[in-house]
Chain A
């Protein structure tokens, strides 16, 4: 076969935009809150320091810059969280993520070695967890954060069952 992909032939990999499954909306709330708290504290501290060390105009300027940064970060967090998606196909799982660097991973069920469900303390408070797929390749980076606990369990069990059914050797 000379040309590996004659134009107009094979179907694309990705499903329609609305077919992608996404993290729970609570993830966005969680990330927004964390950003607000952490960066907000930083901005306030910086402003206070500026106010103490120099004149109010500088302090105001610092505050303005800080608030601008905070706004940009919040926007970035929102875009990044919205960009996450996963889709279960017949033989593999698709995971897409990233805004600046866009990534799409295709992980065949038969290649999955094990599935991790990880939840930090904050995520647990919101009832969310991250599902990570591992293959024998270190470069596989398919993970989806912000899944509700029951969805995470469902996904993990389904992936484990499919992986078992289609497992391929090395």
Chain B
């Protein structure tokens, strides 16, 4: 159980509440909310009014608009209230469309007090909550007085830590860096070649075709074509250069905190993937890399890295390029276990629905992971740990229904990669797969 805060840091008294314990936001909130908009409005209309002869009209519009905005802000403020119970934070809002949001405290990951410029001037602050795994902040309470915001934050952290049974993080610098074991280092040669064997090749091919066609059809239009083509080529070159610079010297090491990734030529960046935070792993095998046996591994990790101070991964790559066996071994290590083989194909009639992908559509699962593959030019394999599955969905479009097919989606908390999708299965098989995944995901969660 968590220890209470020391007496010196006792939480100040909560702000006044009504009979049921509901609190309002600070009364100056409408001024802040409407004020910014009103200011913009005044400036814009002022400009218009001054330019046209009807300065009076401009002033008249302002005189009408500002009170309207203020009234709207006031009404919105009055409609908003919050209450903190033992188990959740409740926020009611909305005038026309009323919304009641309940945030269970056990889900609360972090609470931030933010002071935007204008709010700071008035002595107000905004409370932003980060719910476990959510990338964006939810249920912001704006604006409260600074003291109220800090007090509410302390109470939220206390209560949520109590519900979770974990100690409130004290914050502060971590100890000296733990020892690391280097797993993979990507040499510059393959990095450069792999980047060239992608967009540049396709773009060059396309450009060549365009040039040849232009020369054959109408040589005079050559200049025009070159003019349009050059920015595209330039864009591709810059992308490649940027990527190579960012991923130069890519090294993956294993440490106590999790996987550490370092990369960058001009500017070395590092990121930590905490063990057990990986939501989805994607292994991509572009067509042009196949002769070399290279693949690219990407991960999606929920939440920020443990031990603060390190930025979120600037590239989602776990391995920008590597031989397939090495990549699979690394993935198995990241997910602590071997992966099931994606062996089961869809029924033959799925070819009607998805002719290009049909040959590569596969799914496989065991007790701990689900693996799906798809793609035509680039073969993509998605791996989702069953313990990370958020929701499962069965989806059947009209053409799928005609063909008695359905797709099964495994949703994760990943932001960039959606999760694993088993496309175009037989609809009975899809239902059974859904049931199987539900059961195994539940079992994996409780392990």
Contact = CB atoms under 8 A, between A and B. Distances in A.
Nearest to B131: A113
Residues of A contacting B: mostly? loop
Contact count band on A:
35 or more
Given A4-B433, A135-B411, A167-B104, A105 B391 contact: yes
Contacts of A92: 438, 442
Contact of B415 (A5, A121, A138): A138
Contact of B419 (A100, A103, A139, A156): A139
A167 to B, nearest CB: 5
Contact of B132 (A10, A139, A170): A170
Contacts of B396: 101-103
B155 interface: no
A106 B394 CA distance: 9
Nearest to B439: A10
B95 to A, nearest CB: 9
Given A5-B429, A170-B132, 8 more contacts: A5-B433, A12-B432, A13-B438, A114-B104, A114-B131, A135-B411, A136-B134, A156-B102
Interface stretch (B39-47, B52-60, B359-367, B373-381): B359-367
B125 interface: no
Interface of B: 87-88, 94, 96-104, 106-107, 131-134, 138-139, 163, 277, 302-303, 340, 343-344, 363-367, 387-398, 401, 409, 411-415, 418-419, 429, 431-436, 438-439, 441-442, 445-446
Contacts of B393: 103-106, 139-141
Contacts of B442: 91-92, 108
Contact of A120 (B96, B134, B436): B96
A124 interface: yes
A163 interface: yes
A104 B427 CA distance: 12
A116 B343 CA distance: 40
B87 A164 contact: yes
Contact of A2 (B96, B343, B415): B343
A137 interface: yes
19 contacts: A4-B433, A10-B439, A100-B398, A101-B396, A108-B438, A113-B103, A113-B131, A118-B97, A135-B413, A136-B412, A137-B390, A137-B391, A137-B411, A139-B391, A139-B409, A140-B411, A169-B132, A170-B132, A170-B277
Contact of A106 (B365, B367, B413, B434): B434
Interface in A117-170: 117-121, 124, 135-142, 156, 160, 163-164, 167-170
Contacts of A38: none
A118 B99 contact: yes
B75 to A, nearest CB: 13
A72 B395 CA distance: 24
Given A119-B98, A170-B133, A114 B107 contact: yes
A137 B446 CA distance: 19
A27 interface: no
B369 to A, nearest CB: 11
A140 B395 contact: no
Given A4-B344, A105-B392, A137-B413, A13 B418 contact: no
Contacts of B433: 4-5
A11 interface: yes
Contact of B104 (A4, A13, A116, A163): A163
A80 to B, nearest CB: 14
A136 B413 contact: yes
A14 interface: yes
B132 to A, nearest CB: 5
B363 A107 contact: no
Q: In the complex, which of the residues B101, B302, B418, B439 has the most CB atoms of chain A within 10 Å of its own CB atom? A: B101
Contacts of B412: 136-137
B107 A113 contact: yes
B390 A140 contact: yes
Contacts of A114: 101-104, 107, 131, 138-139
A85 interface: no
Contacts of A113: 103-104, 107, 131-134, 138
Contacts of B415: 138
Contacts of B441: 108
A120 B131 contact: no
A123 to B, nearest CB: 8
B380 to A, nearest CB: 17
A117 B99 contact: yes
A116 B97 CA distance: 12
A106 B391 CA distance: 6
Contacts of A135: 390-391, 411, 413
Contacts of A116: 99-101
A42 B342 CA distance: 53
A121 B97 CA distance: 6
Interface string A22-58: 0000000000000000000000000000000000000
Contacts of B99: 116-119
A48 to B, nearest CB: 31
Nearest to B134: A136
Nearest to A114: B103
Nearest to B342: A4
Contacts of B436: 4-5, 10
B69 to A, nearest CB: 21
A13 B408 CA distance: 13
A168 B389 CA distance: 11
- Lowest 9 CB-CB distances: which A-B pairs, in order? A136-B413, A136-B133, A137-B411, A137-B390, A104-B394, A135-B390, A140-B391, A139-B411, A120-B97
Contacts of A108: 391, 438, 441-442, 445
